[in-house]
Structure 1
Amino acid sequence: MASKLENDDNAAELSTFSRSKAPDSKPSTPLSNTTNKPSDEDESIYPTGIALLLIFISLCTTTFVVALDATIIATAIPTITSQFKSLNDVAWYNTAYLLSTCAFQLPYGRAYSLFGTKWVFLSAIALFEVGSAVCGSAPTSIALIIGRAIQGIGCGGVFSGCFIIIAETVPLRKRSLFTGVIGGTFGIASVVGPLMGGALTTHVSWRWCFYINLPVGAIAILVATLCLPKSMGKSSPELRNKTWWQTFNRFDPIGTALFIPSIICLLLALQWGSQYPWSSPHVVATFVVFGVTFIAWAVFQYTEGEENVTLPRSVLNQRSVIGACLYSFFGSAAFSGIVYYLPIWFQAIRQDDAQQSGIHTLPLILSLAFFAISSGGVVVAVGYYTPFLILGSVFMSVGAGLLYILKPHASTGMWVGYQILFAAGGGMSLEQCNIAIQTVLTKEKIPAATSLLILVRSLGGSIAIAICQTVFEQRLRKNLTDILPGVDLSIISGSGATTLVANAQAALGGDKAALEEVLNLYNDAVVQVFLAAMIFGALTFPAGLLVEWRSVNKENKQKEAKIEDLEEAAGEEKLEERDEI
Structure 2
Amino acid sequence: MATETPRPETTAGDTEKPASTENETQDKDDLIDTPEHSSLQKRSAEQTPEETPVETPAETPAEHEREYVHGIKLFAIMVPTTLVYFLLMLDGSIVSTAIPAITSEFNSLLDIGWYGSAYQLASSSFQPLSGKIYTYFSTKWSFLVFFFVFEVGSAVCGAAQSSTMFIVGRAIAGLGSSGLMNGALTMVAAILPPHRQPLVMGVNVGLGQVGIACGPLIGGAFTEYVSWRWCFYINLPIGAVVGLLLIMLRIPEATPKPPVRQILSTAVQSLDLQGFCLVAPAAIMFFLALQWGGNQYAWDSSTVIGLFVGAGATFILFLLWEHRRGDEAMMPFFMIRKRIIWSASGTMFFFMGVLFVANYYLPIYFQAVKDDSAVMSGVHILPTIIGQIIFAMSSGVFVEVLGYYLPWVLFGTAATSVGYGLLSMISPSTRVQDWVGYQIIFGVGCGAAATSSYIAIQNLVPAAQIPVAMAILIFCQNLGGAVFLIVAQTIFSNTLRDQIVQLVPDANAALIIAAGARSVRQVVSGEQLAGVLQAYSTSVDRVMYLGVAIGASAFAFACGLGWKDIRVEKRKRGREAQSNDADAPTLIV
TM range (shorter): 0.7 to 0.9
Tell me, in whole angstroms, the C-alpha distance in 1 between the residues paired with 2:81 and 2:414.
Answer: 31
Report the counterpart of residue 110 of structure 1 in structure 2.
132
Moved more, 447-456 or 249-258: 447-456
- Residues 67 and 252 in structure 2, CA contact (< 8 A), matched pair in contact too: no
Aligned to 2:547: 533
Q: What residue in structure 1 maps to residue 237 of structure 2? A: 215
Give 3-state SS (helix, strand or coil) of 2:300's partner.
Answer: coil
- Structure 2 CA distance for partners of 1:150 and 1:348, relative to 1, 3 Å: closer
Structure 2: how far apart are the matches of 1:92 and 1:558? 46
Q: Give the corresponding residue for 1:35.
A: none
What's 2:312 paired with?
Answer: 291
Please say if residues 491 and 504 of structure 1, whose CA atoms lie closer than 8 Å, have aligned partners that are also in contact.
no
Q: What TM-score comes out, normalization by structure 2 length? A: 0.78
Q: C-alpha displacement at 1:545, in angstroms?
A: 0.8
Q: Is the 8 A contact 1:178 1:376 kept in 2?
A: no
1:100 corresponds in structure 2 to 122
Aligned to 1:160: 182
- Per the TM alignment, residue 324 of structure 1 is displaced from its structure 2 partner at its CA by 1.0
TM-aligned CA distance change 1:67 to 1:14, over 3 Å: closer
2:375 maps to which residue?
A: 355
Residue aligned with 1:405, SS: coil
Contact 1:132 1:210 in 2 (8 A): yes
1:558 to 572, 575, 578: 572
Secondary structure in structure 2 of the residue aligned to 1:20: helix
2:303 aligned residue = 282
Is 1:257–2:284 an aligned residue pair? no
Give the superposition deviation at 1:491.
6.3
Aligned-partner Cα distance in 2 for 1:482–1:146: 35
**In structure 1, how many angstroms separate the alpha carbons of the residues matched to 2:558 and 2:306?**
35
Structure 1 CA distance for aligned equivalents of residues 107 and 300 of structure 2:
30
Is the CA contact (8 Å cut-off) linking 1:65 and 1:189 kept in structure 2? no
Question: Which amino acid is 1:404 matched to?
Answer: S
How many Å separate the matches in 2 of 1:72 and 1:504? 29
**Could you tell which deviates more after superposition, 268-277 or 388-397?**
268-277
Query: Secondary structure of 1:449's partner?
Result: helix
Per-residue deviation, 1:467: 2.4
Corresponding position of 2:25: 20
Q: For residue 244 of structure 2, what is the amino acid of its counterpart?
A: L
Question: Offset at 1:566?
Answer: 9.6
Distance in 2 of aligned mates of 1:458 and 1:556: 29
Q: In the alignment, which residue of structure 2 is the partner of 1:186?
A: 211
One-letter code aligned to 1:449: A
Secondary structure of 1:356's partner? helix
Contact 2:150 2:175 in 1 (8 A): yes
Q: Report deviation, 1:444.
A: 4.1
Pair 1:420 & 2:440 matched: yes
Amino acid at match of 1:400: Y
Asked if 1:304 corresponds to 2:329, the answer is no
| Structure 1: distance between partners of 2:106 and 2:487 | 31
Matched to 1:182, the amino acid is L
Q: Are the aligned partners of 1:77 and 1:90 in contact in 2 as well (CA < 8 Å)? A: yes
Question: Measured at CA, do residues 78 and 377 of structure 1 come closer, stay the same or move farther in structure 2, by a change above 3 Å?
Answer: closer
Contact 2:287 2:486 (C-alpha < 8 Å) held by counterparts: no
Counterpart residue type for residue 20 of structure 1: T
- Matched residue, 1:36: none
Tell me, yes or no, if the aligned pair for 1:406 and 1:415 is still in contact at 8 Å.
yes
Letter in 2 for 1:379: V
C-alpha contact (below 8 Å) 1:179/1:431 kept by paired residues: no
Q: Which residue of the partner structure matches residue 121 of structure 1?
A: 143
Q: Take 2:524 and 2:572, find their aligned partners in 1: how far apart are those partners?
A: 67
Deviation at 1:377, TM superposition (A): 2.0
User: What is the deviation of 1:291?
Assistant: 1.2
Distance 1:179 1:556 in 2: 19
**1:345 & 1:212 partners in 2: Cα distance?**
26
Count the aligned residue pairs: 544
Shift of 1:26: 6.3
Percent of aligned pairs sharing the same letter: 33
Q: Is the aligned partner of 1:317 residue 2:342?
A: no
For structure 1, which segment, 323-332 or 54-63, has the greater mean C-alpha deviation from structure 2 after superposition? 54-63
2:51 aligned partner: none
Residues in 1 aligned to 2:451 and 2:312: alpha-carbon distance in whole angstroms: 30
RMSD: 4.2
Shift of residue 537, structure 1, vs aligned partner: 0.7
Within 5 Å, give how 1:5-84 maps onto structure 2: 17-21=22-26, 23=28, 27-29=32-34, 47-70=69-92
- What are structure 1's unaligned runs of at least 5 residues? 33-38, 568-573
Instruction: State the 1:481 CA deviation.
Output: 5.6
* CA gap 1:96/1:80 in 2 versus in 1, 3 angstroms: same
| Structure 2: 5+ residue stretches without partners | 1-7, 9-13, 38-57, 59-65
Give the Cα separation in 2 of the matches to 1:145 and 1:526. Answer: 23
